[in-house]
Amino acid sequence: MDNVNDVVSNYDAILNEINELSQGKASLVLASKTVEQSVLKELVRQRKGILLGENKVQELLSKYFTAEGLEWHFIGRLQTNKVKYIVDKVSLIQSVDSLRLAEEIEKRAGKIDKTMDILVEVNVGMEESKGGVLQEELFDLLEKIKEMPHLRLRGLMSVLPDQEETKLVPLYRRLFALYNRVKEIKADNFAVDCLSAGMSGDYKIALQNGSNMVRIGSAVFGKRNYAK
């Protein structure tokens, strides 16, 4: 989609729908993979409080810019050797899926004296092709994160399987139950308030089953042009 006016119109419509479904309690992260920087800049110029989520470090670095009210999130698989390039640019890393990655973020955040907000990614659908820790590994990882003073746990993230609603709802409910358990954990560096789940194809189901942060790309920006 090249027409920025269409992007702005789509953004407004999706945001209104999210606010209605969540009583104004959910956040919209725009999954901006493959979207030109010029389009993003114009959207940010016209609308305040934009959250942009990037999947790849190289693409984030090539498109990165600052503006009032703009935040960048990292939402894709993150290699430990790439953490140093983004830790000073993003406000939330949503895809922490291993102790090794958490330790690297702790190390790099410490070097710039920053407290880095993170989400732990959970593979609630137990798909081999997806990132994220399994449910039985989650709480061991959280115990380790408690000891990392430059990390602040904000909650959980998940990418659920592409399935019909009847199969998705039990998975979302399981994820929401996990999130509520995590909220009960007491730790100085835990400030749990985010459950990031739901994308263009299933965000309504996600919001109806506990998600308070959705990551939406094609429903706002149009079909991806991966040839770019």
Q: What is the pLDDT of residue 104?
A: 98
Among 130, 138, 133, 195, smallest CA distance to 160 is for 130
Q: In the predicted model, is pLDDT for residue 129 greater than 80? A: no
Which pair of tokens denotes residue 135? 């449910």
In the chain, DSSP assigns E strands to 27-31, 51-54, 71-74, 92-96, 116-121, 151-157, 190-196, 213-216
Nearest alpha-carbon partner for 116 in 88, 78, 146, 143: 88
Of residues 3 and 123, more confidently modeled: 123
Tokens standing for residue 214: 């959705």
Digit-coded pLDDT (tens) for 137-172: 999 999 999 999 999 999 999 999 887 888 899 999
Which residue reads 């958490």 in tokens? 102
Residues 140 and 143: their CA atoms lie apart, in Å, by 5
Look-up of token digits 């965000």? 203
Amino acid symbol at 186? K
Which residue from 70, 69, 109 is spatially nearest to 87, judged by alpha carbons? 109
Average pLDDT over residues 41-69: 97
Name the CATH superfamily housing domain 4-221: Alanine racemase (3.20.20.10)
For the chain, domain boundaries:
4-221
Output the pLDDT for position 22: 96
What are the φ and ψ backbone dihedral angles of 44, each rounded to 5 degrees? Answer: -65, -30
**DSSP three-state, residue 74:** strand
**Percent share of the chain, pLDDT over 90:** 89
Question: How far does Cα 171 stand from its chain's mean position?
Answer: 18
